């Protein structure tokens, strides 16, 4: 498996995703043909996330090689991610990155920009050209839960514990997680999960649609590998077009969706069978 050198990715410009720069912020990134794997790699701190984590994720998204079709997001060690680094709540903050105290002193425009930049680390995982798969074991708390929600699919170990802890800490979930959560489980369940900050374990996650599959902890890597192979078995362009259709479905009427299907199919058939005569 090659270290990703990020020549010129989809963003069209070079980003620093060297192993060294990512290791400094607790990330690993490997590209193997059509599969990219991102690993949260601070297991001793339960893969707690910082602003640097999110800018690292955004850089990976910008530099993702064109050939990549499946992005696996995983966490090293016992937990997928224990959420935001709790040092953010202290006056000292995270060295070089500030604290919630310093964020609170930002002007409105700077605050908006700071959070928007953080969200960029998550949003690209929904691009139609890729399918993102979260492999989730142990705790996925707050930002960890939202990172799993940012992915298209979640394969979880039977010890998984999802928790949207932000409201218990006086915050709202703002790392792109609220929309996918509502879309996956519905408004009432999302309200219950967020406003109680309760833990959702594997059986419930499967039942309510938060997880596609539950496997043993030891079986997680194999299950993700199998799903990746299945995802790669379909036609690349048809898969991207179908994902565009599925993503747009909720925002369209049936008639609009049918029109969108026709438009995508016209492009597919022209591409496959030689274009209009």
User: Looking at 166, 177, 180, 181, which residue binds ligand ACO (CB under 6 A)?
Assistant: 166
Length of the chain: 277
- Residue 217 in the binding site for ligand ACO (CB under 6 A): no
User: By CB under 6 A, which span of 78-86, 119-127, 206-214, 218-226 interacts with ligand ACO?
Assistant: 78-86
Q: CB of 42: closest distance to ligand ACO in angstroms?
A: 8
| 86 interacts with ligand ACO by CB under 6 A | yes
Would you call 214 helix, strand, or coil by DSSP? Answer: strand
CB of 161 to ligand ACO, least distance (A): 8
What string marks each residue from 30 to 49 as x (binds ligand ACO by CB under 6 A) or -? ---------------xx-x-
Tell me whether residue 171 or residue 271 sits nearer to ligand ACO (CB atom): 171
Euclidean distance between CA atoms 237 and 257, whole angstroms:
19
**Apex CA 41: angle with CA 12 and CA 35, to 5°?**
45
Q: Is 143 in the site for ligand ACO (CB under 6 A)?
A: yes
Which one of 11, 78, 128, 167 is in contact with ligand ACO (CB under 6 A)?
A: 78
Tell me the C-alpha distance between 156 and 75, whole Å: 12
Among 9, 61, 83, 98, binds ligand ACO (CB under 6 A): 83
Write the CA distances from 1 to 4, 17, 26, 244, integer angstroms.
Answer: 9, 15, 19, 30
Q: Give the three-state DSSP class for 20.
A: helix
**Where in 97-126 is the site for ligand ACO (CB under 6 A)?**
none
Strands 131-136 and 70-75: parallel
Q: Does 167 contact ligand ACO by CB under 6 A? A: no
Find the shortest distance in angstroms from Cβ 195 to ligand ACO.
Answer: 14
With contacts defined by CB under 6 A, name the span among 16-24, 75-83, 224-232, 253-261 that binds ligand ACO: 75-83
Using CB under 6 A, which of 75, 142, 177, 180 touches ligand ACO? 142
Instruction: Tell me how far, at minimum, the Cβ of 48 lies from ligand ACO, in Å.
Output: 3
DSSP string for 159-199? T-EEE--GGGGT----SS-HHHHHHHH-HHHHHHHHHHT-E
Return d(Cα 63, Cα 7) in angstroms, integer.
Answer: 7
Residue closest to 161 by CA, chosen among 178, 179, 148, 177: 148
**Position 213 contacts ligand ACO (CB under 6 A):** no
As measured in angstroms, the least distance from the Cβ of 135 to ligand ACO is 17
Binding residues for ligand ACO, rule CB under 6 A, total: 18
Cα of first residue to Cα of last residue in the chain, in angstroms, is 45
Structure tokens at 266: 């016209």
What is the contact surface with ligand ACO in residues (CB under 6 A)?
45-46, 48, 78-79, 82-86, 139, 141-143, 165-166, 169, 171
């Amino acid at each position: 498996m090659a270290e990703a050198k990020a020549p010129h990715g989809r963003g069209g410009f070079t980003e620093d995703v060297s192993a060294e720069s990512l290791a400094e912020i607790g990330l690993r990134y490997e590209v193997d043909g059509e599969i990219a794997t991102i690993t949260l790699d601070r297991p001793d701190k339960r893969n707690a996330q910082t602003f640097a984590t999110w800018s690292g994720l955004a850089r990976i998204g910008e530099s993702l090689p064109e050939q990549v079709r499946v992005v696996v997001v995983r966490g090293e060690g016992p937990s997928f991610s224990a959420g935001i680094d709790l040092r953010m709540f202290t006056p000292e903050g995270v060295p070089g990155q500030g604290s919630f105290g310093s964020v609170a002193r930002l002007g409105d425009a700077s605050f908006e920009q700071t959070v928007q930049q953080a969200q960029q680390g998550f949003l690209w995982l929904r691009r139609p050209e890729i399918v993102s798969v979260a492999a989730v074991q142990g705790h996925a708390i707050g930002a960890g839960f939202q990172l799993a929600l940012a992915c298209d699919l979640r394969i979880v170990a039977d010890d998984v514990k999802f928790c949207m802890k932000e409201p218990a800490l006086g915050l709202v979930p703002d790392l792109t997680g609220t929309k996918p959560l509502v879309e996956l489980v519905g408004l009432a369940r999302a309200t219950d999960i967020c406003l109680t900050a309760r833990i959702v374990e594997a059986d419930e996650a499967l039942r309510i649609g938060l997880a596609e599959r539950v496997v043993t902890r030891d079986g997680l890597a194999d299950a993700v590998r199998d799903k990746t192979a299945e995802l790669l078995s379909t036609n690349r362009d048809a898969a991207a077009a179908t994902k565009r259709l599925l993503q747009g479905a909720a925002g369209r009427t049936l008639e609009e969706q049918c029109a969108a299907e026709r438009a995508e199919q016209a492009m597919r058939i022209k591409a496959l069978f030689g274009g209009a005569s």
